[in-house]
């Protein structure tokens, strides 16, 4: 059974935060759909607020503290990324952008990405297409066609079956899951991970 690694990045500042709630829903839906397609799935969720000091220090010193370095390595080794940010001043949060600024710009090349955002009014949903999508296009990722915005009206209500948060989450996660099927162009080995002997042998045979 093939494995898929997903790293979930939530830039919410509160505990709990609506960004984390949305991130969890997207991750659970993607995991369920990938498992239904025959994959095993490992999901790692990261609260970027826990890394705020390390990220700031990285800008000053040029070096990542151990915890930040572990998260960066996990992101680079993942097959897919679910990235969710609250909206501040009509854009993603500074913390969200700062994390991606400390990454090697080439490290996300080809990775599947699912975008999400939360805000206090539906007017903020434009951040998905006019701020977040351009950022990940610049990083040369493969972005799911549907992104999900969640406002106050989306929590605690079922809503219309076709427009409810749950239906939008499932649709976006389904597109993200499809990106994760088959050969993954952005895949890198996790730290200390080695290929099975059979796969190494196949690679040697193919080179002859």
Cβ–Cβ under 8 Å, residues 18 and 118: yes
- CATH number, position 134: 3.40.50.360
Tell me whether strands 91-92 and 40-47 are parallel, antiparallel or unpaired: unpaired
Confidence of residue 59 (pLDDT cuts 50, 70, 90): very high
pLDDT in tens, 87-110: 998 899 999 999 999 999 899 999
Confidence of residue 155 (pLDDT cuts 50, 70, 90): confident
Rounded distance, CA 145 to CA 133, Å?
10
Print the domain residue range for 70: 3-207
Total number of domains in the chain: 1
Whether pTM exceeds 0.75: yes
Is the pLDDT at 201 greater than 90? The verdict is: no
Q: What is the CA radius of gyration of the chain?
A: 18
User: How is residue 78 annotated by DSSP?
Assistant: -
Is the pLDDT at 188 greater than 70? The verdict is: no
Is the pLDDT at 130 greater than 90? The verdict is: yes
């Amino acid at each position: 059974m093939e494995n898929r690694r997903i790293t979930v990045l939530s830039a919410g500042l509160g505990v709990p935060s609506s960004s984390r709630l949305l991130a969890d829903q997207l991750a659970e839906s993607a995991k369920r759909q990938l498992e239904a397609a025959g994959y095993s799935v490992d999901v790692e969720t990261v609260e970027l607020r826990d890394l705020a000091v390390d990220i700031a220090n990285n800008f000053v010193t040029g070096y990542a503290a151990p915890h930040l370095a572990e998260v960066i390595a996990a992101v680079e080794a993942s097959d897919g990324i679910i990235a969710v940010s609250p909206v501040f001043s009509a854009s993603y949060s500074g913390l969200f952008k700062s994390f991606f600024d400390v990454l090697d710009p080439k490290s996300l090349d080809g990775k599947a990405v699912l975008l999400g955002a939360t805000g206090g009014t539906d007017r903020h949903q434009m951040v998905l297409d006019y701020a977040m999508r351009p950022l990940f296009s610049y990083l040369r990722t493969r972005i799911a066609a549907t992104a999900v915005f969640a406002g106050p009206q989306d929590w605690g209500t079922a809503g219309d079956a076709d427009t409810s948060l749950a239906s939008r989450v499932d649709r976006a996660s389904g597109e993200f899951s499809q990106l994760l099927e088959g050969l993954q162009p952005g895949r890198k080995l996790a730290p200390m991970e080695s290929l099975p002997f059979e796969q190494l042998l196949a690679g040697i045979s193919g080179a002859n």
